[in-house]
A and B are shown apart, each in its own frame.
Chain A
Amino acid sequence: MHGATWVEQAFNLACGLLLLTAVGALWRRETSALIPILTVQGGALTAIAVMLAAGHPDGGQAVLVAVVVGLLKVVIIPLLLRRVHRLVRNARETRPLVNVATSLLAAAGLCLLAYAAARPLVAVAESPTARATPVGLSLVLIGFFLAATRHRAISQIVGLLLIDNGIAATAFLATDGVPLIVELGVCADLVLAVLVLQVLTARMVHTFGDGDLDDLRELHD
């Protein structure tokens, strides 16, 4: 009995951390601060995966999924992001499209929207963890918002990663995680996409002189 409440509390803490780090990514303007925030978020996601694997009837695959997710989100992705950051040192979101205070209000609105959108998922899934699914969708929506309103290349990559963390969280909370082969494929695609974006950031810095996406205005109709 006592053990169950402890696990429950840890689970709630991890879900809270997911949401808190997403809002934190909107709040901090220094792009260097985004990397530890994302690492903590990856850790929280891994914790959720581990707790689900512990309670899973067919544990072997679920443990492997948790290990892969942990490696990817806590080690590999932060490593790649640090390499991107080295290209554009001291980058700050000096003038985000929407200022920070408004962004935080928007995040609150997006969370409400996520609760509304997640209703069918919560209604269908049987597991008690499914009630936390809106947290995953909130991450996805906040990720969209970040990617759409920021000027720095690294901010857009972080937005993309927030969306991906949100999708992964939704999958864990609503379905106990997708099958192992699919999860492996998704992870491989994510690493490659971030690698590609890292190389493209390097080329952008090389051809444009910095990682400001406002310079992308050659192509239009």
Chain B
Amino acid sequence: MNLALLDPVAGPVAGALLGPVAAPVAGALLAAVLPRRVAAWTSLLAAASVLAAGIALAAHTGQGATITAGLLRADALTAWLVVAVGAVATVACWAGVHHLADRARHGDLTPAAARRYLVLVQAFLACMTVAVMAANVGLFWVAVEATTVVTAFLVGHQRTRASVEAAWKYVVLCSIGVGIALLGTICVYAAAIAAGPAPLGGLEALNWSYLNQHAAQLDPGLMRLAAGLILLGFGAKAGLVPMHAWLPDAHSQAPAPVSALMSGVLLSVAFYGILRYKSVIDAALGPTYVRTLLLVAGLGSLALAALLLIGQRDYKRLLAYSSIEHMGLIALGTAIGGRLAIAAVLLHILGHGLAKAVAFCGAGHILHQVGSPLITHVHGALARTPATAGLFGLAVVALLGLPPFALFASEITLARAGFAAGMGAVVAAAFLLVLVAFAAIARRAAGMLLTPSPTSPSAPAEHPGPRPGLRWLPLALGLVAAAGLGIWLGPLQPLLDSAALIAAEGIR
């Protein structure tokens, strides 16, 4: 009976569906047995394979086609997210090679710890690709909760008080948050089976495509309850107000490449669930309900981030709050809705992922060199290590939404779509908050990069810098990609258009 769930298209096409999951699983298995150096480079290979598999998926689905096989399913929106995961993972795993080498040289990395790090990062990647490729909302939920579990020890890897505290808050708050989303999923399931028996049984009633096709028959009262729970639950994992409290702690305590993955794509993967659910809920309830909730969450996140960025003293927390700000913009764009705004949201997801990954990895190099996470302890970084500090600065410029980077294009498009949809006042308020955040981040970053170093006795001793080597290369590649996407989408344009259509109007 379940055979009918399999796609008639077998062979190489179904293989494209397995690639993004198989690559990190293989990476995890190899990382468990290979010696540290080789395993680190293998993890980069696995991440690049995810990117390649994402591009292969894009080639199959860019014109609006869908591939399904068993519990996995891919359309253009999936392919876009897999490309984002692969691109950010490539930057993060490459930077991770240097991160592990630096820590090994510094003597605070046992072989067991290195192995655990590499295995968990690959498992983390596998969970994210399963989440975006899940055909089924239940499996999506399972994969999202699994990301919390596998990243817990990455957040708490240092075993200091701060990192144990961050890991505890992360696991408890995210598990509770995602638990709320499970309750919402069960409400959706109850609504779906009450609307009529699914031909292939209960499992099919939880498929994204089934829910989209039967959205109009779902009970509105129950969907209203479900929508609130789902937005609150996955919103917690996406770092949206009011369930954001874990984010700055976890993202500042994790090793830099892991922060890059968590800020760069994990938030977006959780938000992908909201994006998919929105078309289902809108078809059942009309567009205003989700729009109102997302506007509250988006503006709330922007306001909170702007407020806490002003007085921020820790540069990794600065980047974490900047993630809340950008997730707020993404929520705002989703609230505006329509193809133009959703295309802006998707471009924002990719551009923010790349820029934030580079920024976190650059911050990791600065942290390793200066030995202090405090902004006031970093002076004249640009003069001392021009390559990595310069790239960190450029990544911050990208995050501020300046041209030529992708975030400039996406924010302009988002504002245009907002005014066209008659939500000018909301958009104006949002960009006012973005401006406050801009000023706060720019001032702090300029202080770190440009201020000449006063020979103050309070600053901790600096490490003798390791040979710079090629550690700037992954960061530079990430920035080139972020800038390239801002100027010319090229072959990605039809993929973005198809993905935006699916996200805006649902699976048809």
- Measured CB to CB, the residues of A under 8 A from B are 58, 117, 119-121, 123-126, 140, 144, 147, 153, 156, 160, 163-164, 167, 170-171, 174-175, 178-179, 181-182, 185-186, 188-189, 192-193, 196-197, 199-200, 203-204, 206-208, 213, 215-219, 221
Contacts and interface: CB of A to CB of B under 8 A. Distances in A.
Contacts of A203: 156, 159, 164
A141 to B, nearest CB: 11
B162 interface: yes
Nearest to B182: A167
A189 B146 CA distance: 6
A196 B136 contact: no
Interface in B188-247: 189-191, 193-194, 201-203, 206, 219, 221-222, 224-225
Contacts of B308: 221
Given A167-B179, A221-B308, A117 B225 contact: yes
A221 B169 CA distance: 15
B149 interface: yes
A-B pairs, top 4 by smallest CB distance, nearest first, are A185-B142, A182-B138, A120-B221, A179-B203
Contacts of B497: none
Nearest to B194: A124
15 contacts: A120-B224, A124-B219, A125-B190, A167-B182, A175-B186, A179-B206, A182-B138, A185-B141, A188-B142, A192-B149, A193-B145, A204-B164, A204-B168, A207-B161, A218-B162
B221 A189 contact: no
Nearest to B162: A218
A163 B224 contact: no
A221 B252 CA distance: 12
Contacts of A117: 225
B179 A182 contact: no
Interface in B272-322: 308, 311-312, 317
Given A121-B187, A170-B183, A175-B193, A160 B152 contact: no
A195 B252 CA distance: 24
Given A126-B194, A179-B206, A200 B136 contact: no
Interface string B142-178: 1001101100110010011110111111011001100
A181 B138 contact: yes
Interface of B: 71, 136, 138-139, 141-142, 145-146, 148-149, 152-153, 156, 159-162, 164-169, 171-172, 175-176, 179, 182-183, 186-187, 189-191, 193-194, 201-203, 206, 219, 221-222, 224-225, 248-249, 252-253, 308, 311-312, 317
A207 B164 contact: yes
A218 B161 contact: yes
Given A121-B225, A124-B191, A182-B206, A200 B167 contact: yes
B236 to A, nearest CB: 13
A124 B190 contact: yes
A185 B138 contact: yes
Nearest to A219: B249
Given A120-B224, A221-B311, 6 more contacts: A153-B168, A160-B175, A175-B190, A179-B203, A197-B171, A200-B171
A203 B166 CA distance: 12
A207 B167 CA distance: 13
A199 B467 CA distance: 37
Contacts of A204: 164, 168
A64 B118 CA distance: 35
B340 to A, nearest CB: 34
The interface centre, meaning the residue of B153, B190, B201, B311 with most chain A CB atoms within 10 A of its CB, is B190
Contacts of A164: 179
Contact of B225 (A120, A126, A147, A193): A120
Contact of B136 (A124, A156, A170, A182): A182
A170 B318 CA distance: 40
Contacts of A125: 190, 194
A158 to B, nearest CB: 12
A145 to B, nearest CB: 12
A214 to B, nearest CB: 11
B307 to A, nearest CB: 9
A124 B224 CA distance: 13
Nearest to B312: A221
Contacts of B252: 219
Nearest to B317: A221
B253 to A, nearest CB: 8
Contacts of A196: 149, 152-153, 171
A127 to B, nearest CB: 10
Given A147-B172, A163-B179, A189 B142 contact: yes
B203 A216 contact: no
A208 to B, nearest CB: 7
B189 A175 contact: yes
A175 B186 CA distance: 8
B312 to A, nearest CB: 7
Contacts of A217: 165
Contacts of A213: 168
B219 A200 contact: no
Residue of B71, B159, B187, B219 contacting most chain A CB atoms (<10 Å): B187
Given A200-B152, A204-B168, A216-B165, A178 B142 contact: no
Contacts of A199: 153
A58 B202 CA distance: 11
Contact of B166 (A178, A197, A219): A219
A196 B174 CA distance: 13
Contact of A193 (B149, B153, B183): B149
B325 to A, nearest CB: 14
Given A167-B186, A197-B172, A219-B249, A179 B202 contact: yes
A121 B175 CA distance: 23
B221 A124 contact: yes
A153 B167 CA distance: 13
Contacts of B248: 219, 221
